[in-house]
A and B are shown apart, each in its own frame.
Chain A
Amino acid sequence: MIYLQLFLTFAKIGVMTFGGGYAMLPMLQREIVKNRGWATDEEMLNYYAIGQCTPGIIAVNTATFVGYKQKGILGAIVATLGMVFPCIVIITVLAGVLTMFRSNVYVQKAFSGIRIAVSALIFVSVFRLAKKAVVNVNTAIVAVLGFALQLLLGFSPILITACAIAYGLLLYFIRRKNDAAA
Chain B
Amino acid sequence: MTRAHPFLGLTDSDREEMLATIGVASVEELFRDIPQGVRLQRELDLEPALSEQEVFAHLAELAAHNVPASQELSFLGAGIYDHYVPAVVDAVMQRGEFLTAYTPYQPEMSQGVLQAIFEYQTAICELTGMDVSNASGYDGTTVAADACFVAKHATGRAKIVITEATNPQVRQVVKTYAPGFGLEIVEVPHRDGVTDPADVARAAEDAAAVIFQQPNFFGCLEAAPDLAAAAADAGALGIVHADPLSLGVLEAPGRYGAAIAIGEGQAAGNFPSYGGPHYGFLAARQDFIRRMPGRIVGETLDAAGERGYVLTLQTREQHIRREKATSNITTNQTLLALGGLVYLTWLGPQGIRELGETCLSLSAYAKQQLVERAGLELVFSNQTTFKEFAVRVGRNARDVVAAARERGVHPGYALGRDYEGMDDVLLVAVTERRTPAEIDRLADVLAEVTR
Q: Do A and B come from one complex?
A: no
- Residue ranges of A at the interface with B (Cβ–Cβ < 8 Å): none
- Residue ranges of B at the interface with A (Cβ–Cβ < 8 Å): none
